[in-house]
Structure 1
């Protein structure tokens, strides 16, 4: 018996949706041609219906035994989730039949199987067999882009843009996102410039070139193109905001002047006013910023997004009353990300010393990515109120979805105990945590610090050497081990090498500079020691850095300078144990 291939395709359900029935969980590979359009990039908006195929252009083939065998084998492989076989068989079928529906099916399965080169091959056949299909070209173009083959993608992108001139502006606005996976930003710029040639009067085209030039580091081109976009569409808020941000690269003042002039001409442009206000905060023009915020608040009473922006900027100005009013207004307007507002309000209430209100808002966060951080902050506030056992119990009852969250909760409980001065219990908690998660880097580091506090130096050294083995680029591991040796006057040459390695990995870290200065001092190199300690203290007025710098100054006879350093540190951190012990020891 002979069957037409179209009949067999209908039997298998390959026309229209082309859904893949998977044995495990009923997954759909490809999810119709829409997934193929996106080419796993997530950048396309699928149409409601698939592109219709002109059946008069389909090949006239009979269903021979070899073709039937390959069909059945491919479908059986799909049912058993053996995508490797399914992909290879559908590629073979597409090549044999030259049927665009089968090539399309092959591209969908290959995409689902995460075989990009097979998907490209299938999409190429799809375009070859049905050159008028925009779906086929869109799929192939996206695959070529994702594989970094921009030159090969150009003719397909060019044809797609030309096919829908009414929407070509929107297409250009999406181009940079589509191309973002390619690491060669200069190549992306050249591609967009080539695609832009037929559309010199479209502002979106110049906007796209500007973005690509910015990412490629060609800042003058970026600025010129953004200005061109604005000249074609002067009231375009997005372009005005971007132009201001680009001006900031050279001068915040120039950017502020641009925003001010733009707002004078277009006073109702909310996004530009928000950008201008943020810039005023950077320029420390606090009163001008507050004036802009009041204007935004009065004119955007029904815009939740603007209320949130006002709240965040007000926090930077320490105007917590405005923060509270605007964020609560956003909640009343139905702002969707309630947990973000709850979390921010809680932090503001902490700043305002309103602990109970802060705890109330942390408790309202019950799901999402902020849930654990909020509950950890809640526990920390419990501990600060003297309810240490309740704080620990709260953390212990929190659910952990994975090892990372488990470790995060262990570290949070350890931190609460550390602040309470329970160093032995801190060590026990971390020791038990490493039984659950052996060699977990963050737990190793924290246990090493805890071991230092209770004099278990062998464990400190073992944990830090293990951490260096696991994470050879971890600057803090080298620093902690080197500093421990220097502090105890042991293995000073090795301590110096360890800390130099830390400096190499993190040259601007003031705490590592402090360690380097301290080990030089311990080795008798006063000049280099004082140099690095002074540099560290200039970057960070940390109390322990102040203790070290003051000690070196004191021992060198510069006692007034030492007193000045210690006094400034005590004003900020009057209870620091290291600082107090150093002063008491040296003044005996």
Structure 2
């Protein structure tokens, strides 16, 4: 977004913009209290703060209501007013506002509080009167306070009505940021015609790069892509070195399907971590390995600060270019407080396994399971990654344990149930696998993968074949060309003794996707048809695909003991 974004939706208690940011806290203005806690200012302030730490707004409001009557500090009354408004205690809020005014409240924050109180009561006329008083105070922060009041309203339609009534072109100050902020607020409140009107007026009145860029975004959202491009070109003509503008314009071009145009725009001019990231995303989307290689080289030569903030991107680029050890190095440089820290650790574990260091990979994931113990969503992902690595290693019991731990964090998670069901099936624990797949289908009855998995598991165990047939037929109807489902159907035909149909289906699946398990199934069917040489040729291909295939080993042992 190229526009100055409005602050948080609602003003925190006691945080009216009119109060000086560097002012001392109310606790610094102490008076000698009596032994009666109700008449002890310090005791009431402490009680109020303690209630706030426990998110007990009603308790905090009551304590600050008592404190303001014992204090001559207007900020205590301001806090009392804010808390009373937050808990919708109208009498207490009116008392606090009156006390605050008596103690010398400044006009702008006082009008803001009165407007918030009127909005909480649904009194639109009074809210409008107070908001007009607020913006007419001349306070340099008045329009930001105005925006906060409307964003904090529980009634979006009422807020939109007040926006259009008060924030008129005639009343807005000669500050392009205020105009852009009101246009953005109108867009948030779904008053798009108003937002466009203010955006166009700001562009004509001020003609800055930002006003052109915001008007361009508004046109793009309304479907006028050509008009948006014209305005963005004008914005860049005003400020050709602005990376923010180039990023915004490139994002618009990418959303329009013009990845090449977006890439050309970003390729020239100053570079930073954000431009490199978007350039890499565009190149990856088009599988442009040449550009990815060039970007990786450029980033490696970029200033140290850019490299440090792009460590995760450098790791991704190195990984995409199959430089696994370099990717590990870059992922290891991602700071702990970086938004990509978890993903960097996760990718490191995957790469450690890919480079033959499975024990280190699982140690890394075990550490992550400790580090993210208090973050369930990330903890679940760490367990799932651990389970998937064990599945790749054909350590199915370990995989099942990891999936089970993840399910303790996120019970009945469909993806985890599916994964554990597969692990159970590979372990030969058919009953447990069937239980997981049936539970998954209770949660997601139309999940084609689960339908196919349950059908295949029953067919592979050579039991309940009529149910297996119904299930796999349902999966085939949903995805008739899916090689995995074709494999299930072919294997079911083998179990039913239909060898010719089994061969035809499995060969089709094998040609579509040279998966080791499909090859093992085809080879076994060929063997049972008496075509051992053909079967051996298929088994040889399977060995090249997966030299460690346990399925192949067990099948050969069974066919040729």
The bucket for the TM-score relative to the shorter chain is 0.5 to 0.7
1:78 has 2:46 as partner = yes
Instruction: Summarize the alignment of residues 315-464 of structure 1 with structure 2, pairs less than 5 Å apart.
Output: 315-316=284-285, 318=288, 319-325=291-297, 327-328=299-300, 331-332=303-304, 334-335=305-306, 338=308, 341-368=310-337, 369-398=339-368, 399-403=370-374, 404=376, 405-431=378-404, 439=411, 441=413, 446-460=419-433, 462-463=435-436
Select which of 11, 14, 20 maps to 1:47: 20
Write the deviation string for residues 186-220 of structure 1: whole angstroms up to 9, x where unpaired.
Answer: 33322211221352575555534432343344444
Instruction: Summarize the alignment of residues 102-501 of structure 1 with structure 2, pairs less than 5 Å apart.
Output: 103-104=77-78, 106-107=80-81, 110=83, 116-117=86-87, 122-131=92-101, 133-134=106-107, 136-137=109-110, 140=113, 144=117, 151=124, 153-164=127-138, 171-172=143-144, 179-180=150-151, 182=153, 184-197=155-168, 198-199=170-171, 202=174, 203-204=176-177, 206-237=179-210, 239-241=212-214, 243-244=216-217, 246-260=219-233, 262-263=235-236, 267-268=240-241, 270-283=243-256, 285=258, 287-296=260-269, 300=270, 306=275, 310=279, 313=282, 315-316=284-285, 318=288, 319-325=291-297, 327-328=299-300, 331-332=303-304, 334-335=305-306, 338=308, 341-368=310-337, 369-398=339-368, 399-403=370-374, 404=376, 405-431=378-404, 439=411, 441=413, 446-460=419-433, 462-463=435-436, 475=444, 482-488=451-457
Q: Does the 8 Å contact 2:424/2:430 carry over to 1?
A: yes
Normalised by the size of structure 1, how large is the TM-score?
0.64
Q: 1:362 to 1:205 in 2, by over 3 A?
A: closer
When the two chains are superposed, the root-mean-square deviation of aligned CA atoms in Å is 5.2
* TM-superposed deviation, 1:253: 4.6
CA distance in 1, matches of 2:127, 2:392: 58
SS in 2 for 1:452: helix
Q: Which residue of 1 aligns with 2:532?
A: none
CA distance in 1, matches of 2:488, 2:165: 60
1:532 has 2:478 as partner = yes
* TM-superposed deviation, 1:341: 1.3
CA distance in 2, matches of 1:64, 1:409: 54
SS in 2 for 1:353: coil
Q: 1:213 to 1:88 in 2, by over 3 A?
A: closer
Q: Does the 8 Å contact 1:209/1:222 carry over to 2?
A: yes
Q: 1:182 to 1:357 in 2, by over 3 A?
A: farther
CA distance in 2, matches of 1:270, 1:165: 32
* TM-superposed deviation, 1:101: 6.1
* TM-superposed deviation, 1:260: 3.8
* TM-superposed deviation, 1:230: 1.4
Write the deviation string for residues 16-39 of structure 1: whole angstroms up to 9, x where unpaired.
Answer: xxxxxxxxxxxxxxxxxxx9x942
Select which of 481, 484, 491 maps to 1:544: 484
Q: 1:348 to 1:64 in 2, by over 3 A?
A: closer
CA distance in 2, matches of 1:282, 1:192: 30
SS in 1 for 2:87: helix
Q: Does the 8 Å contact 2:391/2:399 carry over to 1?
A: yes
* TM-superposed deviation, 1:350: 0.7
CA distance in 1, matches of 2:262, 2:194: 31
Q: Does the 8 Å contact 1:543/1:576 carry over to 2?
A: no
Q: Does the 8 Å contact 2:384/2:416 carry over to 1?
A: yes
Unaligned runs of 5+ in 1: 1-34, 54-62, 496-518
Q: 1:155 to 1:455 in 2, by over 3 A?
A: farther
Write the deviation string for residues 109-150 of structure 1: whole angstroms up to 9, x where unpaired.
Answer: x48xxx921677655333223445347526626865996968
Q: Does the 8 Å contact 2:112/2:131 carry over to 1?
A: no
Write the deviation string for residues 270-317 of structure 1: whole angstroms up to 9, x where unpaired.
Answer: 433333333444555455444323322xxx26x665555555555556
Q: 1:586 to 1:278 in 2, by over 3 A?
A: farther
Q: 1:295 to 1:190 in 2, by over 3 A?
A: same
CA distance in 1, matches of 2:192, 2:521: 52
Larger relative contact order (CA 8 Å, sep ≥ 6): 2
Q: Does the 8 Å contact 1:103/1:123 carry over to 2?
A: no
Q: Which residue of 1 aligns with 2:470?
A: 523
Q: Does the 8 Å contact 1:543/1:569 carry over to 2?
A: yes
SS in 2 for 1:397: helix
Q: Quick check: 243-252 or 99-108, which moved more?
A: 99-108
SS in 1 for 2:40: helix
Q: Which residue of 2 aligns with 1:502?
A: none
Unaligned runs of 5+ in 2: 1-7, 27-31, 52-57, 530-561
